[in-house]
Chains A and B, each alone.
Chain A
């Protein structure tokens, strides 16, 4: 075990993947010699060689197209999109090609690619460095979408994503790269040192895709969250005084429906928290699933705490960002219904 930030944990996962499998390689903008703008690939080119971790042109569509071709050949490429906000030029490749290749070719070709992208707000990044696009990928049949919330899971999930034979979008919550941010931006920020999930095995392990983690057990309500919002939700639960169960989904496709349903059937209340804007967000799908499967056990309306339906606003970041107070209020509202 070693104490690691999420950046170090991701770096460790990539280092191990390169060491274990000569068919794994990494490319993306600035990931080579420099080691990436967030340092996730720091030192990998020097250690593993130029062809294992190299810079690419500024061309998200080209990066993903190239990765798919490599995947069809038999490699297992891991590519970085510098910010999830910039993934849209690659959207056609992800939707029309990566997600459909296995299906349309009846399994003759497939794309075992991992597309890493830092996402989410809370970093004063404005609308082009803060967005949470997970719902648009979750909607695409054939793509998996994974979102860790802590260093331990980040390493294990990334190794699982790389080993997976289907295309995986791996969204990294950059606000918690260096510490478990709980949404209270005006307080002193913590690092991962001292946090139990900052303790990361140095060797290979995987956290399987599609298994949620129960972060906190509770009896009165269920809170569903992923990424940075896991920490915000935990703070919100503590502030609310409600004995809520907190589930970190870890991957939204595949989705651990059993854990969700099992919890809501017990608690009878559900609050969904995500950073992305509310309308059409992944919270809508979660809400529908919970309603379909737990309706007769629900004691209050399902609540969605999310970003507002605006572009990500620069100067209004903390008005937009769903903080622990909004989570606490939602829990209290849920409790006010009998």
Chain B
């Protein structure tokens, strides 16, 4: 027998753990002017490099540059900034509310606010978003009532979802926001089906779906891409690559050897890798994909390259698996700070206006929380127990009718 090399099993590990220096030195961040912008009807096979590069608009000094630079009214940018800042303020307040025992659970979007805000403002009101649980900035950009979020998080008598769903797993049809669930990935294919239905009806609406980089390992991701590709569904499929799936770094999902955007190539659809902390770049890439979808060009896969700046949820402590200061070292910065500096740079914003906005939003959140507290927080108030039995089917069958009587309500 010839001698054979001993086999080694490779287990991916991140470069830094608690106690180590946060290290993103291995990431190569291309210049903001680096990516070319093809016409949206380009053949997918002609733009494969976009799946490996990084579409940026704001350069290192937060100026908008390059071919992807969108021409946006400053009022639009201020609207986006407001939605992002509101999300940040709201998240901090609700996280604290959980720590005070007012809610059973909470999840922040910190560091990822540009994604929902930019895409919510870019797409039409009657398009449909199939979100992940870190997309509340979509609702903030569309002025969803804060009190409805608060009541849902407190699971109180005014909870719009009647106490049936974990906090943060909202549903807001009138805001183009599909019902969330705690099963990750299982709505990705719904976005494709919804988009196929729109095409079937010769409608003009499109869908946008989201999945985390960790969840690209699920069959749901590949099934959705297969259907989207086969039927050329008018859908934008987004991977929010925030580097961490609870405690598992993106290498555990396959990010060590290729990009998540490159998964598109095997399906024959465009894959765009985009700086997800760059409001302008997210807008521009989404606009490109939307234009392609609306012109029967089919789906686009967008990797939104971002960073989860806080823990997975109120049940998580990221300092147990990554350096505590890692968020500060993320090379693409904070999305709110960047858009703020960009606006100041073009003379459309100021530190004073920003401070005033922060004050205004803090007051609005405080007022909404107070209003929710008056209805009641977790355990103090809840919808009528009959709501437990409603909505299983359109019309109840004898089981829930009998069981309601058995419970004595």
Task: List residues of A whose CB falls within 8 A of some B CB.
Answer: 23, 25, 51, 56-57, 59, 61-62, 65-75, 77, 89, 92-93, 96-97, 100-110, 141-142, 144, 164-166, 210, 253-255, 257
Interface size on B, residues (CB 8 A): 44
B residues less than 8 Å from A255 (CB atoms): 397
A68-B190, A97-B181 are known; give 15 further A-B pairs, CB within 8 A. A51-B200, A57-B223, A57-B230, A61-B219, A65-B186, A65-B190, A66-B189, A69-B192, A72-B190, A96-B183, A103-B391, A104-B181, A105-B173, A165-B394, A210-B397
User: Contacts A104-B161, A105-B179 hold; do A61 and B197 have CB atoms under 8 A apart?
Assistant: no
Q: Which residue of A lies closest to B194 (CB)?
A: A69
A residues less than 8 Å from B188 (CB atoms): 65
A residues less than 8 Å from B192 (CB atoms): 65-66, 69
- Within B176-194, which residues are at the interface with A (CB < 8 Å)? 178-179, 181, 183, 186-194
A48 to B41, CA, bound (A): 31
Does B304 make an interface contact (CB < 8 A)? Answer: no
A56 to B189, CA, bound (A): 14
Task: List residues of B whose CB falls within 8 A of some A CB.
Answer: 128, 130, 160-162, 164-165, 169, 171-173, 178-179, 181, 183, 186-198, 200-201, 207, 219-220, 223-224, 226-227, 230, 391-394, 397-398
A residues less than 8 Å from B186 (CB atoms): 65, 92-93, 96-97
A residues less than 8 Å from B230 (CB atoms): 57
Q: Is the CB of A92 within 8 A of B223?
A: no
Q: Which residue of A lies closest to B130 (CB)?
A: A69
Can you pick out 5 interface pairs between chain A and chain B where the beta carbons lie within 8 Å of each other?
A: A70-B193, A73-B193, A92-B220, A102-B391, A109-B173
Q: Which residue of A lies closest to B207 (CB)?
A: A69
- Give the shortest distance, in Å, between B98 (CB) and chain A (any CB): 20
Contact of B223 among A51, A62, A75 (CB under 8 A): A62
B residues less than 8 Å from A97 (CB atoms): 181, 183, 186-187, 190
B residues less than 8 Å from A72 (CB atoms): 128, 178, 190, 193-194
Q: Is the CB of B392 within 8 A of A66?
A: no
Contact of B197 among A57, A73, A104 (CB under 8 A): A73
Q: Which residue of B lies closest to A51 (CB)?
A: B200
A residues less than 8 Å from B165 (CB atoms): 104
A residues less than 8 Å from B227 (CB atoms): 56-57, 59, 62, 65-66
Q: Is the CB of A108 within 8 A of B171?
A: yes
Q: Is the CB of B183 within 8 A of A92?
A: yes
A residues less than 8 Å from B164 (CB atoms): 103-104, 106
- Give the shortest distance, in Å, between A194 (CB) and chain B (any CB): 36
Q: Which 6 A-B pairs have the closest CB atoms?
A: A69-B193, A65-B189, A62-B223, A69-B190, A73-B197, A105-B179
A101 to B164, CA, bound (A): 11
B residues less than 8 Å from A51 (CB atoms): 200
- Give the shortest distance, in Å, between B228 (CB) and chain A (any CB): 9
- Give the shortest distance, in Å, between A272 (CB) and chain B (any CB): 19
Contact of A257 among B179, B191, B398 (CB under 8 A): B398
Q: Is the CB of B219 within 8 A of A89?
A: yes
Q: Which residue of A lies closest to B387 (CB)?
A: A106
Q: Is the CB of B394 within 8 A of A110?
A: yes
Q: Which residue of B lies closest to A165 (CB)?
A: B394
Q: Is the CB of A106 within 8 A of B393?
A: no
B residues less than 8 Å from A73 (CB atoms): 128, 193-194, 197-198, 201
B residues less than 8 Å from A69 (CB atoms): 130, 189-197, 207
User: Contacts A100-B181, A165-B394 hold; do A106 and B197 have CB atoms under 8 A apart?
Assistant: no
